[in-house]
A and B are shown apart, each in its own frame.
Chain A
């Protein structure tokens, strides 16, 4: 169980506490745990400015989730390693399960409290592991199981609700968040105090404690060692081989189950589309037929005049189309409302040159188009015919 590496002076005497694998597992676990808490808690409290600061630091919530998911997978792998480590120790090496809380742990708590309030002169005599360590270890086991299970459910909701009701997903989220807060705060209060503040216990990194530290923290175990109650006798090679053969399929099944779980966790379910949801499908610009700002009067169909004269054609046409400006208002000095004034022309001379529509300003202006009171093409054709015929009155 614990081995003395005594080489003379009692000061140099050390007591092994953790194997190399356990120390590595602890380091991996503490890194992934910190990353999970650091990237997970801000997602539980998205409204907090601290959370937003953390997301900014990580380059956005998508990165935080990637780190969270990656850490989770690594933590699951190291959990598998630990399960195999522990079960091998128990089934093959027949090491005692020293992490299970027992009645004497309760006795130690009472002893400690009595010591704190000054009733007893010393604390409880802890064995291989104190109640503080057992409590923390079991919390890790419980917490990892809850987090892995609920994390799987949230990561794969569609697979989950094939077996469970839909409510399992928000329930998983509630438990995941509650457990996270509990775990992180417990680490800060309990773990930090017990191994970083009260004493600086480096055994999880060095693997051993010295006699002085053992006297402080595991007096009962030390007493046992000193009395010669050391580890169980060596196991005969043949027995060991047999146990290993029996253990191997168990280890395989556990590994396969974990592997399958991690495989499903990461890669099987396609939860949601990666494209954008379809927004408004209606045509954005779909003007009403009446959207034209103002209705314009439709021109009456052109009726060829009975005679191309002022009285029968040009006079009524000019009154209708032109006299609004070139009437008694006389824009530009031109009044087209009477035959006499029309022939006379405007302030710059005649606008109608008899028998020469090409040189008549009226025809020129109208041919160019865009004049207020614009004549239609048919009307203009007949006006030109009228001028070319000598602009007759009757």
Chain B
């Protein structure tokens, strides 16, 4: 009996720990465990039907703004909401619309539509704490703080009432179909950059082939904690972003792309300096090029692209001349083009390296051998045959003379 009780206690403890772990894991992928839902602290008695009595009407709207001239749509597509990820798990309207009075206008006064979004945006972080915090550290938040009201908030990307499930609930991985949505989401505000990306080797493969290996916006910029990409720190660390995929043979081999691109960059002039800077002073300003200075930022093309591909020497020269305006047609060969020198590519460099590979140990080993022998003899003489030393070093008068011919 006592044993059974003990088993039960242990079993329950394990169960609770497991549930706790699954909750914390779930929050990390954006999913919120039902137990953490704040509904309980809100007027749960307000049924969605009560809201929809007014807000289901398609023509339900009001004016907003100082001049009261902006039309503000107040209608809600109940069907759309019920099919959203929040609607499916039964989150009520007041779950997000916190602090609304049950009166006409709900006791709220806004000067603009954006103000409404800004206020309601705080509700997302109530459940999605991690993502809310990450967003607060992002470039969008700092843009907002500096007065750029258009800077993206949760609902600008996820929508308010039609929030879709983006990740697999079990693995936490993005669902395959969502990858193509990402650039289209960013396009809403960054349409010019999207155009460049869309026509790049990465964007075209994603859009036209749904290629799972190419990066979308978030693979380089991150998701909620999107960093300012114009800082020196971003610049210095950016080669690591490209390297994530470009040093991964699982991704690169099928396209015949070298995975030595980072190594070869780091061991060449530009990459050496950038690597040193990123280690000694990650915030320092340096104009030494990183990947995107040569390959393009969003408009990256294949290296054999006839117009801009860098494997075509005239294209490469144009790229060099962006920073080395006086460079001539020989100059691009000063860059090893991500090759590890070999007898076919950059043979002079290869043979010089080979020469020193033999010369350095050859010279040093010879010197080392003479040093070791000299030192050993000195030690032997000192400790075992001290009487020899004076006899050994004194030259006889006759012997050195024959060696002087040359010096004389």
Contacts and interface: CB of A to CB of B under 8 A. Distances in A.
Q: Do A and B come from one complex?
A: yes
Interface of A: 43, 46-47, 51-52, 55-56, 60-61, 96, 98, 102, 104, 107, 109, 112-113, 115-117, 121-123, 125, 127-128, 132, 154, 157-158, 161-162, 164-171, 173-175, 177-179, 181-182, 185-186, 189-190, 193-194, 197-198, 215-216, 219-224, 227, 229, 269-280, 282-288, 290-291, 293-297, 299, 320-321, 324-325, 329, 331-332, 369-374
B364 A182 contact: yes
A128 B62 contact: no
Contacts of B360: 178, 181-182, 185
Interface SS of B by simple majority = helix
Given A173-B269, A186-B363, A279 B230 contact: yes
A47 B272 CA distance: 9
Nearest to B109: A370
16 contacts: A61-B280, A107-B403, A125-B395, A161-B331, A167-B334, A167-B349, A169-B334, A171-B349, A179-B356, A186-B364, A193-B374, A224-B401, A287-B188, A297-B59, A299-B71, A369-B63
A270 B399 CA distance: 61
A282 B272 CA distance: 29
B323 interface: yes
A127 B346 contact: no
B374 A116 contact: yes
B193 A284 contact: yes
Contacts, number: 297
Interface in B331-358: 331-336, 341, 346, 348-349, 352-353, 355-356
Given A158-B327, A189-B371, A370-B68, A215 B395 contact: yes
A117 to B, nearest CB: 8
Contacts of A197: 375
Nearest to A218: B400
A132 B287 CA distance: 47
B71 A112 contact: no
Contact of B353 (A174, A324, A332): A174
A272 B367 contact: no
B370 A127 contact: no
B37 interface: no
B3 interface: no
A292 to B, nearest CB: 9
Contacts of B155: 293
Contacts of B58: 297
A198 B378 contact: yes
B105 A219 contact: no
A282 B192 contact: yes
Interface in B380-398: 388, 391-395, 397
Nearest to A179: B356
A61 B57 CA distance: 67
B330 A374 contact: no
Given A47-B266, A293-B160, A275 B403 contact: no
What are the nearest 3 A-B pairs in CB distance?
Answer: A166-B333, A178-B356, A369-B68
Interface string B300-327: 0000000000000000000000111111
B280 A175 contact: no
Contacts of B272: 43, 46
A104 B403 contact: yes
A170 B346 CA distance: 9
B64 interface: yes
Interface in B52-66: 53-54, 57-64
Contact of B363 (A61, A182, A294, A296): A182
B292 A279 contact: yes
Contact of B188 (A109, A277, A291): A291
A370 B64 contact: yes
B328 A372 contact: no
Interface in B33-55: 53-54
A275 B322 CA distance: 11
Contact of A162 (B60, B71, B328, B395): B328
B262 to A, nearest CB: 11
A220 B155 CA distance: 93
Contact of B330 (A96, A112, A161, A282): A161
Nearest to A325: B54
A121 B391 contact: yes
Contact of A372 (B105, B160, B188): B105
B77 to A, nearest CB: 9
B60 A116 contact: no
B279 interface: yes
A25 B371 CA distance: 27
Given A166-B333, A296-B61, A331-B54, 16 more contacts: A46-B272, A116-B374, A158-B328, A161-B333, A162-B330, A179-B356, A182-B360, A182-B363, A198-B378, A223-B397, A283-B193, A285-B150, A288-B187, A288-B189, A325-B54, A373-B60
A60 B395 contact: no
Contacts of A274: 287
Contact of B62 (A295, A299, A373): A373
B189 A285 contact: yes
A272 B286 CA distance: 12
A282 B406 contact: no
A278 B54 contact: no
Given A127-B407, A215-B393, A52 B355 contact: no
A280 B323 contact: no
B363 to A, nearest CB: 6
Contact of A278 (B64, B322, B341, B363): B322
A175 B349 CA distance: 8
Nearest to A216: B393
Contacts of B142: none
B371 A190 contact: yes
B330 A166 contact: yes
B280 A168 contact: no
